Chain A
Amino acid sequence: MTLPLAIILPFLGSLLPPLLIRRGRSITAAVALTVPLASLALLASHWPAVSRGEVPRWQMPWVPIIGLDLDVRLDGLAFLFGALVFGIGALIVLYARYYLSEEDSMGRFYSYLLLFMGAMAGLVLTGNLLLLVIFWELTSLSSFLLIGFWTHRADARDGARTSLIVTGLGGLALLGGVLIIGRIVGSYDISTVLASGDLIRGSSLYLPALLLVLLGAFTKSAQFPFHFWLPGAMAAPTPVSAYLHSAAMVKAGVFVLARLHPALSGTSEWFLLVSGAGLITLLLGAYTAMFQNDLKGLLAYSTISHLGLITLLLGIGTTQAVVAALFHVMNHVAFKASLFMAAGIIDHETGTRDLRTLNGLWRLMPYTSLLAIVSAAAMAGVPLFNGFLSKEMFFTEALSLSGAGVMQWLIPIGATLFGVFSAAYSIRLVYEVLFSGPGTDMPRVPHEPVRSMRIPVELLTLVCIAVGLFPNTIARPLLDVAAAAAAGAVIPAFHLSQWHGLNAPLLMSLTALAGGVVLFFMLRDRLAAYGAVVPVVSAKRVFDRVVAGTTAASVFVTRRFENGSLQRYTLFLVGISLLVGFGQAWKWGWPLGSETNLPADVPTATGTVVLVTCALATVALYRRRLIALIAISGVGAMTSLGFVRFGAPDLALTQLMVEVVATLLMLLALFHLPQVEPRDEPGSRLARDGVIALASGAGVAAIVWAVVSRPLDSISSYFITNAKPLGGGTNIVNVILVDFRGFDTMGEIAVIGTAALGIRMMLDSLEPRAPNVPAGFRMAARSLILSSVTRAMLPFALLMSVYLFLRGHNEPGGGFVAGLLTAIAIILQYLGGGMTWTLERVRRSPQPWIAWGVLMAVGAGVLGMLSGSWFLDLTFTHVHIPGIGEIELATATLFDLGVYVTVVAAVLLIITGVGALSPAPVSAQVEPGSDPWKI
């Protein structure tokens, strides 16, 4: 349980600083410091086991169906990196306490830092590949926050964004790679994966998996061509650079390479890709570093090149190479972190990081300078320091390559050049900062920093020396277990020492150092000037161009498709429908059924002709809107006649009523719309739409034709037989509506009610402009119905609707029709007499009646529930009313009454609402747009 705790602690700890910051910065820092120390202690407690070669492990299932477990697995490699993460982490926390200025929010900083620490620890300690990816992404996210810590600085924002995009890309690639590996192996358990290297290398998916994993590793470890984000990340506060960009995060890439080394390495693809990328990065970084005028910039490129070195070693892939790689990881952390922190001190004290401005610090802050010199020497690979040892091993590997083709020559040459360059930039750093010049005219006059700020640097420098002098006692034990885990094999005996006798590697080192000195003093004054021409700038520019270009392309594509034109969207919808319809017909043929047709009779034929004519007239005249309206109501009339013809009296009635109301509504609307429509559409478009229209018509006709020619075995026989015995009505349609499918009807009255409410709501927010109505049209509107006639008609209409309602269950009629008729009757009053006349008589707003109506219908259904049956189980008894006949009093009637009330209220609400807008029949009292029934 102590294992997961080491990871959990930082995450929990990240919550504390924001809370503690009110208590003071020192307390916050102290608490933040305890976290890594505690985790380190937890880790250390397992050292005995790990040193014996055991692998302490803790597992808990999380998402079993993809094999994602919470899994901590502490082998040598994990231990090495874990120790680095927590150890350096502790130093950074301490250092940051004195680095951050008063106006920096320390709480936020420590919170982010611990968040990152936890993610990093999880990444190196986990035993499950998917979990590794999760922590990997977490490091990207938390580093995004850390790099962008100074949000007010443009370079910080850009650096944060760039690093997130690049490492995000890598993370997604790694996810892909890991998923593929998991698919090959059948598990994400690292032990299993490492054990099945041959299976992976043998698989046909090996190459994609390798490429994706490498893409992830290279982006994270700033390998060419993804190196450019690292210099940009230097905009972060120096503790962040020291931690993320020298010790921890950039090592994640090489960690994954080392982690998966047993599973993926040993193929020519691995060798070429990894060592190739490493070699290029190694040279590019070292070369570029020489020309940096920014202290941190120089360190950043030096980091890039050292990461290249490690990658190259892992690419070579022999056990010794792996040993060297891991050893260099340790050493690089020591000297680079201390250099970054020293740079931070210098920046802090002098107020600048520009090599051209800095000078002569040797006199002003000798102690810090000494520390810097030592670390720089280690970086340059000067004998006696740790950097020298791992560099020697690197040279040895570079020389002992065999059967590597051209790489066999490139790598040693590259290695030597690397030595030369790194010597040169190390010398430049030391010389220009510490010695050249009298130590004057810098922004601030520097002096030694507070003791505690130096402690981390001192410790690390001490490590550089100690490891350099007594590698076998200090570094060996850890290195052995780590290398064993990474190489997946027992490490052949080897001995770390400064002196192997006068051999080729030593000669290379000496040449490199000498070459470095010469190079620096030859180019010395030119180096600063070259700052402009370093290749990385272009890499970043390429990246920016790609991002900007992709964005521009996206805008273009999106606008091409989505141009805001409804006509186009409608076209897509209709087009797709045609496509699938005709597609199926094309694929499966369109067989017709066997049923014989009814012979066409004259009335039907005539009706059809009239219908078609009216429809075509509507299209032909749609620009002259009033006429089109008359034409389309002709279509409506013919439709209802059609219903009569085909035995649907209820439909005919309803359609007719709806027709009246709808036409009236459109008339009222026309007051506010242009009367004629401009001819602003090109003929080509009209032609195209014509073709599409014909195709659609043909398609639907084809469906009708195909279906009606087939026999129908329908469920409706049940309704026909049971309407009377079970539904208590002889009008089957009405029984279906209120009983068999009452649930539909309930929903449908809700729809019309809501429509009315929505219309009301919209009208509230309308302020109509003066309508443009030709006088003749106004007359037409007035003379639609003579008011006297309408008033005389009202009682009869109401009586009629009551009659229709009551007989509805047995004869054509029912709630809808009755409701519509009532509504029409009242509306006619309004048309004839004007709004105010109507309002005087219909005093209350119909709004609540919508609610009452629907609730009545629902209530009828609930009664069914209360009587112990299902919802909408309607019961009935029959009552004989002379003159009307057998009618039924039942919950069904209540339901139908609900329908009636809702329809009346909804229609009234709609028409009067729209009418209130229109000037024609409305008298002056009601100003347009106002709600005539505002209570």
Chain B
Amino acid sequence: MSIDPRDLRYERYEVEELYYEYVECLDDEELERWPEFFVEDCLYKIIPRENFERNLPIALMRCESKGMLKDRVTTVRETSVYAPRSLRHLLSNIRIKGNDNGQLRVQANYAVLETLPDEETRVFNAGKYVDLVVREDGKLRFKEKLCVFDSLLVPGSLIYPI
């Protein structure tokens, strides 16, 4: 199969846009928009590298449908009790690793900075996204998104999705 480099460039642009828009949504705390980056039948997990590499299935957040993503948003907004904070995501090394029948395997590095009241900004979480991206209604969306983070030890609580 021959590959048209122009197509790849456009695909790359679209994928990068998806990731930039995704983290912008989280940084701006527009959580209600967050589930819309996923298809209905999706999987979202935040999982320590230790578990990921040893095939241990426990995840800090595990959403098995868009409905569960929405439930997460509801709890963050309405039921959980926590100190106010702001988060900022830094992205790098977005790589399209492969294309399985229209499902793009994409990886990217991320770092999340957290700012709490009375505190200096700190590196809160760093890791990589290991994702499956599909096209639905002409728009790229996540079919699967794994946030595999480097340090098992989480400072305080991990409240907002990554």
Tell whether A and B belong to one assembly.
no
B-binding residues in A (CB < 8 A): none
